[in-house]
Amino acid sequence: MTSRAPSAPAAASPADPARERTLGGLYALAAYLLWGFLPLYFLLLVPTGPWELVAWRILFSLVFCVLLLAVTRGWQRFGVILRSPRLLGWTALAGAFIYVNWQVFILGTLSGHVIETSLGYFINPVVTVLFGVLFLRERLRVTQWVAIGLAVVAIAVIVFGYGRFPWIALSLAFSFGLYGLVKKRIGPSVDAVSGLTLETVWLIPVAVVQLLVVSSVTGLTIGTAGPGHTVLLLLVGVVTAVPLLLFASGARRVPLTVIGLLQFAAPILQFITGAWLLGETMTPERWFGFGLVWLALIVLSADSVIHARRLRGVSDVAAFT
């Protein structure tokens, strides 16, 4: 008879899940913090206009992703996706939605509507829940319907307060919601780096056309506004890709409820940037509308946490029995 010594990895394994959850939370929080400060970064790139800026964002993101694929040796995974027409189609659709999101966000930021961009990302969780009903045939709980109702009333109040339709906020909310829906359809079949690489590949013709138009109308600004501006513009691909990769790393390690609560960090920072740092106007009607949106998010977040705890309780009882 032989004796068997306990292995070290087995002894260390109980601490691993907690460590992974902590790392995942930090990764996701870092992603949302970076997204929250994006308006300030893009404002540093003036006099580069929104159309030129998005074009460079696409091209430099592609360069950065290709370098990442080379460093991480991800070409095999990338090749598998290239051989799947279904996945290629989904990445093209994702690219279209993320293009709309990038272009509208930068248009809003550079035209003095940072507060409205923050509203779009505040509304996004409610839009995501609504898409679950429309496209995934999910059934909503009463509190989720209440949150959607509050968001609809908030949009009506904000339309009255703005005196115009908040197209920037709604375009951002719906484009990113649709982008998330496509990502959910793709699932784990496409990793973060390969996905972003293909999304930007599909957008190359758009970027080239925009650069040609800007060049013929106003002239390109890259290399004309000093070395510091040029460096910041060249880094726009890194600034775009890093938060997406951090988010992907975090989402794999923590529950969806944690991601849902952390995602409010970005629009909160954007709202602070617009209202306090940039001095954008907040009328009483806008405060009331934003208050309704925040109330909807509180209802949605509380429902998500309570539902997750109930599910854990049911699973614990099932395991015990």
> Are 265 and 36 in contact, with CB atoms under 8 Å apart?
yes
DSSP labels, 256-314: HHHHHHHTTHHHHHHHHIIIIIS-----HHHHHHHHHHHHHHHHHHHHHHHHHHHHHHH
63 burial level (CB within 10 Å; 0-12, 13-18, 19+): middle
Report the alpha-carbon distance of residue 89 to residue 199 in Å, rounded: 10
What does the pLDDT read at residue 9? 45
pLDDT band at 167 (very low <50, low <70, confident <90, very high): very high
Would residue 142 be called left, alpha or beta, if left means φ above 0 and alpha means ψ between -120 and 50 degrees? alpha
What does the pLDDT read at residue 1? 46
Residue 18, in any domain of the structure: no
Type and span of the H or E element at 94 = helix 85-110
Please determine, for residue 183, whether its predicted confidence score (pLDDT) is greater than 90: no
Exposure letters 107-144 (e unless 16+ CB within 10 A, then b): bbbbeebbbbbbbbbbbbbbbbbbbbeeeeeeeeeeeb
Domain count, the chain: 1
Report the alpha-carbon distance of residue 293 to residue 147 in Å, rounded: 8
Residue 6, in any domain of the structure: no
CA distances from 110 to 11, 50, 158 (A): 54, 7, 21
> Are 103 and 58 in contact, with CB atoms under 8 Å apart?
no
The residue that leads in pLDDT, 284 or 321, is 284
Tokens, residue 265: 């960090």
Residue 19, in any domain of the structure: no
Provide Rg for the chain, Cα atoms: 22
Residues composing the chain? 321
What does the pLDDT read at residue 218? 93
Tokens, residue 66: 């290709």
Please determine, for residue 306, whether its predicted confidence score (pLDDT) is greater than 60: yes
Residue 17, in any domain of the structure: no
What does the pLDDT read at residue 308? 67
> Are 62 and 201 in contact, with CB atoms under 8 Å apart?
yes
pTM for the full predicted model: 0.83
Using the Cα atoms of residue 204, residue 206, residue 227 and residue 39 in order, give the sign of their dihedral: negative
Type and span of the H or E element at 243 = helix 236-251
Residue 10, in any domain of the structure: no
CA distances from 101 to 171, 215, 254 (A): 7, 23, 26
How many helices and strands (H and E) does the chain possess? 16, 0
Amino acid occupying residue 245:
L
Tell me the pLDDT of the chain averaged across its residues. 84
* Boundaries of domain holding 64: 24-219+226-239+254-320
The residue that leads in pLDDT, 297 or 270, is 270
Residue 208, in any domain of the structure: yes
Please determine, for residue 266, whether its predicted confidence score (pLDDT) is greater than 50: yes
Amino acid occupying residue 100:
V
Residue 39, in any domain of the structure: yes
Tokens, residue 153: 């009333």
Report the alpha-carbon distance of residue 224 to residue 153 in Å, rounded: 47
